[in-house]
Chain A
Amino acid sequence: MSWQRVLALMLRIVRQFRRDKRTLALILVVPVLVLSLLGYIYRGSGEPTRLAVVLEGDSPLARQVLALLEETSSLQVIVMEREPALQAVDRREVDGVLVLPALPVQPGTQPEVELILEGSQPSAAGAIAGAVSRALPQAIIQTMSPSGQAIQIEPRFLHGGPQFDQLDYFAPTFIGFFAFFFVFLLTSVSFLRERLQGSIERLIVSPLDRREIVLGYMLGFTLFATVQSIVMVIFTVAVLRIHYAGELWLVVFLTFLMTVGAVNLGIFLSAFARTELQVVQFIPIVITPQGLLSGIIWPVDSLPRPLQWLAQALPLTWANEALRAVMIRGEGLDALGLHLAVLIGFAAAMAALAMVTLRREVA
């Protein structure tokens, strides 16, 4: 094992990378763009859901319900007559119509509240149904209770906080995902090129041994992946103001472990591709399942059982859990023994596979 040779290989990869401005932009700018977009989606003010309210009679309770709905920030409430309101929802000008009878009705009868939802957009329908079903009981309590006081719930958060949103939940895992994705893609493409242009043969007959090749590649690519994860950490903290609870170097460290696995997986799988298009064909096999099942968007617990088992077999699932533990709950390395073991085991297994494919290179 000669470090001079490992460094020579690493230096070459770094040089090729620096020369390739587009790829450099890809790994540094694209993650930032995607995060910005997500930030805008989750934090920017979109079109509010529109609800038409029809008051069939005047009563304190109906007015109270209306007032509560108007306070709901995600709803735009418009008071209308019954007929125009029904036409409006039919033409999809509003997302729903709430018809409030003269509340309260006689004791012993049910108040007949009508709710008509446009329904083709589940999130709008859900927002209206949720707001209405919160407002009604609240209004009843407020109008009935002698003091007119509502019941206030002050939640106490163990982790996160009242300002904690979806973006805070996603951001830590995106850092790991992007590192894994790009490093896998870039390694497999550049290793394939090495084969196509024949330079791999020069390496094989040189004093470089397989461990040195794997190590050189690993150092070269993880260097860029580490830079990428540092850029993402800085961006999410400084610009997106993600509510991180833990230590940021742990994010970079966990990402590093993932990329070591990704480099070796790339070397291994590139042996099964003959063209660059065939490398791209690995994305749906290697990347997509991990993107969907590893808990980035849908928590693993919420998946159907068989998919949970599958998710447990994916390295990214463990990386994501660890990243969330660190960044949302502020846990340290000591709490992540199992996760670290799985990630290191994955990296070691992939390195072993990469070595096997390199051995086959002397046919």
Chain B
Amino acid sequence: MDATIVADEVSRTFGPVRAIDRLTLEIPPGVIYGLLGPSGSGKTTFLRMVVGALRPTEGRLLVLGRTMPDRAVAGQIGYMPQTAALYPDLTLRENLAFFGRIYGLRGRKLEDRVEQLVNDLGLLGWVDQPLYRFSSGMLQRASLACALLHQPELLVLDEPTVGLDPVLRRSLWAHFRQLAEQGKTLLISTHTMDEADRCDLLGFLRGGRLLASDTPAALRLQTGQADLEDAFLALAGQPGIPVGEP
């Protein structure tokens, strides 16, 4: 099957800043791809290009077979931005209904999805509360619910579990795994090592360059570090590692 995401020498500059520098990678369908990297390394920039919110300045970025940005695949992508980006004056149900309808859900189907997600994400008692009453972890879950609502082929999640407790984090990752088993592709940026270990493939970004992209096990082997965190630090400390080479 064709890769869900194909990046070929993709670069993105903001004035003088090279936020993504000649990034090349392929993400096959049905995997969880984790994007690791220090703050400011370009994770969000890459994710935004994948969902079509940013235009690459150079290179070619194919998502679900289309050169991005392309609205034709918008309905098959679910995006959870780094900030909640919802409507604080509306209730959770109203926010979900709005995004659901925009993605073509309606009636019974929409209601069922809302109920199911609200259950899965532990927000059942809050569904008719306006979002300005939510804690940041709850907002995070509400935002995730909006991205999952239409059961997209590709899920792009920017630090989805920041601020969540370990129990919730675990259940979410179980959910992500389930989605991957159904053949969905997940592209997730993260800071935490335990989450990185749950990914099928990992990419290390630094200063806009993809220092490595492989399975967690292979990365351990390559750097000679048993601990992923040490592997990450080893990569971060070695600017000489070839770009995009596993």
Could you tell me if B90 and A15 are in contact, using CB atoms closer than 8 angstroms?
A: yes
Chain B residues in 8 Å Cβ range of A16: 87, 89-90
Does B170 reach chain A (CB closer than 8 Å)? Answer: no
Could you tell me if A8 and B71 are in contact, using CB atoms closer than 8 angstroms?
A: no
Stretch of A153-161, A205-213, A263-271 at the chain-chain interface = A205-213
Chain B residues in 8 Å Cβ range of A198: 81, 83-85
Interface string of B102-122 (1 = CB under 8 A from A): 111010000000000000000
Looking at B84, B101, B104, the one whose CB has the most chain A CB atoms below 10 A away is B101
Chain B residues in 8 Å Cβ range of A206: 74-75, 99, 102-103
Known: A202-B81, A362-B53. A208 touches B102 (CB 8 A): yes
Kindly state the interface size class of chain B when it binds its partner.
Answer: 20 to 34
Could you tell me if A209 and B88 are in contact, using CB atoms closer than 8 angstroms?
A: no
- Alpha-carbon gap, A199 to B139, bound state (A): 13
Could you tell me if A202 and B106 are in contact, using CB atoms closer than 8 angstroms?
A: no
Could you tell me if B85 and A197 are in contact, using CB atoms closer than 8 angstroms?
A: yes
Kindly state the interface size class of chain A when it binds its partner.
Answer: 20 to 34
Interface residues of chain A: helix, strand, loop or mixed (majority)? helix
Could you tell me if B90 and A9 are in contact, using CB atoms closer than 8 angstroms?
A: no
Could you tell me if A197 and B86 are in contact, using CB atoms closer than 8 angstroms?
A: yes
Give the shortest distance, in Å, between A358 (CB) and chain B (any CB): 12
Give the shortest distance, in Å, between A213 (CB) and chain B (any CB): 10
Chain B residues in 8 Å Cβ range of A203: 102
- Alpha-carbon gap, A16 to B90, bound state (A): 7
Contact of B85 among A2, A5, A11, A199 (CB under 8 A): A199
Could you tell me if A12 and B87 are in contact, using CB atoms closer than 8 angstroms?
A: yes
Chain B residues in 8 Å Cβ range of A2: 104
Known: A207-B71, A209-B71, A363-B55. A202 touches B87 (CB 8 A): no
Extra A-B contacts (19), CB below 8 Å, given A8-B102, A15-B94: A5-B102, A7-B101, A9-B98, A16-B89, A16-B90, A198-B84, A201-B48, A202-B79, A202-B85, A205-B51, A205-B52, A205-B79, A206-B74, A207-B75, A207-B102, A362-B53, A362-B55, A363-B54, A363-B55
Which A residues fall within an 8 A CB radius of B? 2, 4-5, 7-9, 11-12, 15-16, 19-20, 197-199, 201-209, 362-363
